[in-house]
Amino acid sequence: MTDVLRVNDVTQRFGHGDAAMTALDDVSLRVRRGETLGLVGESGSGKSTLARAILLMRKPTAGTIEFDGVDITGLRGRALRRHRRRVQMVFQDPNDSLDPRFSVARSIAEPLVAAGVSPKERRRRIADSLDRVGLPMEAAGRYPHEFSGGQRQRIAIARAMAAEPEFVVLDEPTSALDVSVQAQVLNLLVQLQNETGVTYLFITHNLSVVHHIAHRVAVMHQGRVVEEGTGEQVMNAPEHPYTQRLLESMPVLYRT
């Protein structure tokens, strides 16, 4: 299985001189095509900063990021826009990505319009993406406030998948949902990956959630990746004390 993403010795500092803060400290990881890599850590561990670097929202202080073997760290202009069509993001709160003034159809169509997709193809993709996330076509004419939290997250997923991305960053996509709804959304994400072959970076603070969706897990602490392995390895034989503490904080019913 080939690597779709490689993060090579990435460091991210904010500020200057003695006041500088290191948010990422020489981070390296890889994500294989078609897999889910779970990125786990507490708030402030560097997960979101790393996601922003991967999405080219902020250039790292040092290191490189490769996508399909090409260094994308310095992409600008048209090349950057082309790359962003291949990558999408699903946020923790769908209100971060769904404009309350836009109908569901307009929200899903927005990235397609930016990519130059024809009106006919946009209509097809809107219908197809709604069907894939288990929502009827009539939902297209409604607005976000008319749906439950779980349904809004399904719409946000439909919006990301309509662009037919190769890589999706999922930033705590279930943490704001009830436990029963979390399971439905996780199952949906697995189903979509099986159907499309999309690659996920699944960011969370919850090892019990990532264990059920990730093929491999990377644990972040204080801006560093301190442990990496399969879900079984990390859950059943954690080597780093920080990972051990995360596991000890989990409810017993989630442990294997």
Task: Provide CATH 3.40.50.300 ranges for the chain.
Answer: 3-86+166-254
Per-residue pLDDT of the chain (256 residues; tens, 9 = 90+): 799 999 999 999 998 877 889 999 999 999 999 999 999 999 899 999 999 999 999 899 999 999 999 999 989 888 988 898 899 999 888 887 899 999 999 999 998 998 889 999 999 999 999 999 999 999 999 999 999 999 999 999 999 999 999 999 999 998 878 888 888 999 999 999 999 999 999 999 888 788 789 999 999 999 999 999 998 888 888 999 999 998 887 754 344 4
Torsion of CA 89, 90, 93, 99, to 10 degrees: 70
The pLDDT value recorded for residue 251 is: 59
Provide CB contacts within 8 A for 28, sequence distance 6+.
6, 7, 8, 9, 10, 63, 225
SS (H, E, C) 60-104: CCEEEEEECCEECCCCCHHHHHHHHCCEEEECCCHHHCCCCCCCH
- For the domain spanning 3-86+166-254, the CATH number is 3.40.50.300
CB atoms within 10 A of CB 100: 9
Reported pTM: 0.91
